[in-house]
Amino acid sequence: MSAYGGSGAGESGQESVHEAVGAYALGVLDEPQAAAFEAHLAQCAYCVRELDELAGMEPMLAALAADGVPGQVPSPASPRPESDRLLDGLLAATARERTGRRRRARLLLAAAAALIVTVPLAVLGASGDDPGTRTPEAHPTSPAQDAFFHHVEDKAAATDRTTGVTATVGTEAKPWGTHAVLELKNVKGPLKCRLVAVGRDGAEETVTTWSVPKWGYGIDDSPHTRARAPLYVHGGAAMAASEIDRFEVRTLDGRRLVEVGA
């Protein structure tokens, strides 16, 4: 059951909850009712706006409670209506409790306003509806893997009969030289390797270097799940693609693992 005399469900229940804004602003709710309304306030933008408007009237209400309505003198001969006495009681309660209630109302107003403002922005950022506020998504693959499957067009592959290592090299012409991407399979470690571009004139350039962990890369029958995935690395050579004769995967101590023609 609601603290305001209803179940809280349906249109009439919602209206009774919203109507408690005035009583809460005047500070006449008892502690259980105030606590129940504060829980509702944290989720209701309508009540936040209403409470904000009523909060600006507190000085006037306090003045009415202390001094009465300026320019209005009640006649001693005329009994005051019941509604006037009720209003005096509400205003007196406001004067007594306005300091504590106002501070709590302002804190809740700030918290509720922050909730109302930030949650839609967070949802908007996650949904990507507004390109100006779209948050960047995590890259689903490594940059090298993305380049291998979506950017480089010219690819060549080879498997060394002695080492069993398989390499596929994709190249992409650039104004500064050649972008090269390597897919490496069936290599076990621990090793430290490099990809070397060998020019038609015999010149050599190291494109990139990497380490192979002991479990290796691209080993289909490995018990280690991570070892079954190929290695993808990329780098650049100053030579133009037309100047490259082949690529070689070598260990840093000079042992050749596989050679791929350009």
Residue given tokens 């600006």 in the structure block: 56
Q: What is residue 161's DSSP assignment? A: T
Q: Is residue 134 part of a domain?
A: no
Per-residue pLDDT at 126: 43
The confidence score (pLDDT) of residue 105 equals 56
Dihedral angle of Cα 206, 210, 212, 218, to the nearest 10 degrees: -80
* Euclidean distance between CA atoms 100 and 103, whole angstroms: 5
111: left (phi over 0), alpha (psi -120 to 50) or beta: alpha
- Residue 51: pLDDT over 50: yes
pLDDT of 127 above 50 = no
pLDDT more than 90, % of the chain: 37
Indicate if the pLDDT at residue 209 is higher than 90: yes
β-strands 166-174, 244-251 pairing: unpaired
**Within a domain: residue 3?**
no
Average pLDDT along the chain: 74
117 and 155 part of one domain: no
For residue 125, what pLDDT is reported?
A: 42
- End-to-end Cα distance, the chain: 78
Domain boundary among 100, 127, 154: 127
Is residue 5 included in any domain, yes or no? no
Above 60 in pLDDT, residue 257? Answer: yes
Structure confidence at residue 12 (pLDDT): 45
Work out the pLDDT band at 52, boundaries 50, 70, 90. Answer: confident
Over residues 65-94, the pLDDT tens digits come to 455 444 444 445 455 555 556 556 655 655
Verify that 161 and 73 share a domain, yes or no: no
Q: Is the pLDDT of residue 259 over 80?
A: yes
Is residue 211 scored above 80 in pLDDT? yes
Identify whether residues 98 and 27 lie together within a single domain: yes
H helices, E strands: number in the chain: 6, 8
pLDDT band at residue 39 under the 50/70/90 scheme: confident
Contact present, 94 and 62 (Cβ < 8 Å) = yes
**Residue 96 confidence class, pLDDT cut points 50, 70, 90:** low
Q: What are phi and psi of 137, to 5 degrees?
A: -85, 150
Domain that holds residue 111: 10-127
Q: Are strands 154-159 and 166-174 parallel, antiparallel or unpaired?
A: antiparallel
The answer for residues whose C-beta is within 8 angstroms of residue 171's C-beta and 6 or more apart is 152, 154, 155, 178, 179, 180, 181, 241, 244, 262
Q: Which of 72, 97, 127 is the last residue of a domain?
A: 127
Rounded mean pLDDT of 184-188?
Answer: 94
Q: Are residues 147 and 70 in the same domain?
A: no
Burial class (CB in 10 A: 0-12, 13-18, 19+), 2: middle
Order of strands across the sheet that contains 204-212: 204-212, 191-199, 244-251, 256-261
73 plus 112 within the same structural domain = yes
106 and 17 inside one domain: yes
Which of 78, 102, 127 corresponds to the end of one domain?
A: 127
With 70 as the cut, is the pLDDT of residue 114 above it?
no
Confidence of residue 22 (pLDDT cuts 50, 70, 90): confident
Average pLDDT for residues 175-199, to the nearest whole number?
95
Q: How many folded domains does the chain comprise?
A: 2
**Interatomic CA distance for residues 191 and 212, integer angstroms:** 5
Residue of 149, 125, 162 whose CA lies nearest to 234:
149
Residue 257 sits in a domain whose CATH number is 2.60.40
Q: Residue 253 — pLDDT band, cuts 50, 70, 90?
A: very high
Say yes or no: 243 and 192 in one domain.
yes
- Residues 160 and 249 occupy one common structural domain: yes
Statement: residue 225 has pLDDT above 60? yes
Is the same domain home to 153 and 250?
yes
Residue 1 included in any domain: no
